[in-house]
Amino acid sequence: MCKLYYLFILVSISFITDASPTSNPNTGVFWQITDIHYDFNYSRFGNPGKLCHQSKTTNSTRSVGLFGNYKCDSPWTLVTTAIDGMKAINAKPDFILWTGDSMSHVSDNQSSLLKVYLTIRNVSNLIHSAFPNVSVFPVLGNHDPYPSNNMPIGSNYYEKIISMSGWKQFLGKSEQEQFMKGGFYVSTVVTGIRVIGLNTNLLYSKNPLVQGHKDPSNQFAWLIKQLEDAKSKGLKVYIISHIPPGAFERTSLKIKWFYPEYNQPYLDILRRYSDVILAQFYGHGHTDSFRILYNKTGYPINALYLSPAVTPWKSSLPGTGSNNPALRLYYYNRNTGQVLDYVQYFLNLTKANLEKKPVWEVEYHATKAYSIPDISAQSLNKVTKTFHRSSPTFELYFKYNSVSHGVQETCDTNCYYIQYCAIVNLDFNDFDRCIFWRGTMPHPAHHRSTIHHHHHKTKSPPDYAFYVIGGLALVVLILALIVGCLCLGRHNQNAGYKYGKFVGPVN
């Protein structure tokens, strides 16, 4: 079965021709830029241990980077070179998706609401002046309110983002009115295709302001209404937002972004309207990844594209590290809205600083790198079927995951399963089970696959094995607990790592 499957892959690869989408008049392009994290306190002679801020006591003259530093957020030179790079590569995209987090990772006591508004305004004005005639669809990130993560329900904050941070330039009258109610809106991309800009920061588990709310700012209800409306009119929809559902793929902490009571209803809506939703675009993780949404019978029904960040900032999450600054250009069919491909661009920050010259290079073309005809959920699903800890496709994916920065890093078994399980399991329980079972029961496709999708099946144990192995594991666990209690009896140790213990800014 497995061998046959690889044969199938080989055969399909050999039929993929280099159909460069640019030559087709129906093919349009659009940019996604995300997680700029502009820090106006970045100093070329600053301290990389302190976000490259200049310390008052030491007066260093050693440059830590003209275009930025892997431990710090973006200086203005990096922000401008990113926008210049977009313009130089493609100055006439059909539209631009800007998926949040413009503010730096400085602690809240060094910031203020006014600083946040002005920081976002600087970026808004820069984008608008570089692309005066291009539609820009912005959404807020968890670092864009103040204090960070505190995305409010009903507040004049949203009004101020429009009036003080320059989003008047991007949103029409009716979009502005909707945005003021909770930071989300619907707009039109091209004829027949709408974009729904969401505020998933309201679902973020680090947001203390939404606790006790079943549907913060009535966003779920509003979203369902929009999707119903699009469906009844035969329109298609792109969903854009800052924080994606599911878990983060690049940290040993196995962080899940949303509160569990929000993750499930959100996924339920995505599944229910997967025929209306063409694609989804997110940021926040700073890494280059994707997610596949499966229906209940295990068939891939939607792709979530997770674009890497402009900021190279080294995350405080264990295992995450830094990334090269990134920009992404998508290709899509203007008639159907189908997203066909993307080109990932990056700035080699080491090289840019050495040569004092910023050059935005192509990192990879998605369809070429992964040998797939398009970047649909079905095609990406096929890519994940070739993933093993040291399979060439996974190694490639892992290299791109840090925008070719962590090339010297290897992904051990733990790292691999967190990556793989996060990509194919957006449901928290499925993700946990996948990690526990080391990918042998990764998602519904593997144990509830129907006859129609046999070629999607990889070797997985029969269902009863799950309970047999589970029972054995339980026995071993109980034995281990007994032994553990006996051994550790007199060491009054702390109970290991806890998510709640983690402090500091997260992406």
Q: Interface with ligand NAG by CB under 6 A: which residues?
A: 40-41, 53, 110, 132-133, 348, 350-351, 404
DSSP 41-81: T--TTSBGGGTTBPPSS----S-S-SS--TTS-B-HHHHHH
Min dist CB 396 to Zn ion, Å, is: 24
Residue number, 40 or 436, with CB nearest to ligand NAG = 40
Cβ count near 276 (within 10 Å): 20
Pattern 256-295, binding to Zn ion, x per CB under 5 A?
----------------------------x-----------
Smallest distance, Å, CB 336 to Zn ion?
31
Is 138 a binding residue for Zn ion by CB under 5 A? The answer is: no
Q: Does residue number 312 form part of the binding site for Zn ion (CB under 5 A)?
A: no
Q: Is 260 exposed, middle or buried (0-12, 13-18, 19+ CB in 10 A)?
A: exposed
Query: E-strand spans in 83-234?
Result: 95-98, 135-138, 185-190, 193-197
Cβ atoms 312, 72 nearer than 8 A: yes
The conformational region for residue 503 under phi > 0 = left, psi -120 to 50 = alpha, else beta, is beta
Report in angstroms how near the CB of residue 55 gets to ligand NAG at its nearest: 9
Say whether the peptide bond before residue 462 is cis (omega within 30 degrees of 0): no
d(CA 262, CA 284): 17
101 binds Zn ion (CB under 5 A): yes
Q: Which amino acid is at 51?
A: L
Q: Which of ligand NAG, Zn ion, none sits in contact with 35, Cβ below 5 to 8 A by type?
A: Zn ion
CB of 48 to ligand NAG, least distance (A): 14
Q: In this complex, which beta carbon is closest to Zn ion, that of residue 140 or of residue 352?
A: 140
Nearer to ligand NAG, 226 or 404 (CB): 404
According to CB under 5 A, which one of 35, 73, 341, 430 is a site residue for Zn ion?
A: 35
Query: Binds 280, which of ligand NAG, Zn ion, none (CB < 5 to 8 A, cut-off by type)?
Result: none
**Pairwise CA distance, residues 399 & 382, whole Å:** 19
* 175 counts as binding Zn ion under rule CB under 5 A: no
In whole angstroms, how close is the CB of 503 to ligand NAG at the nearest point? 19
Question: Closest CB to Zn ion among 144 and 430?
Answer: 144
Tokens coding 152? 């409010």
- Which residue's CB is nearer to ligand NAG, number 115 or number 213? 115
* 116: nearest Cα among 85, 143, 77, 83: 143
Partner touching 219 among Zn ion, ligand NAG, none, CB below 5 to 8 Å by kind: none
Residue numbers at the binding site for Zn ion (CB under 5 A): 35, 101, 141-142, 284, 507
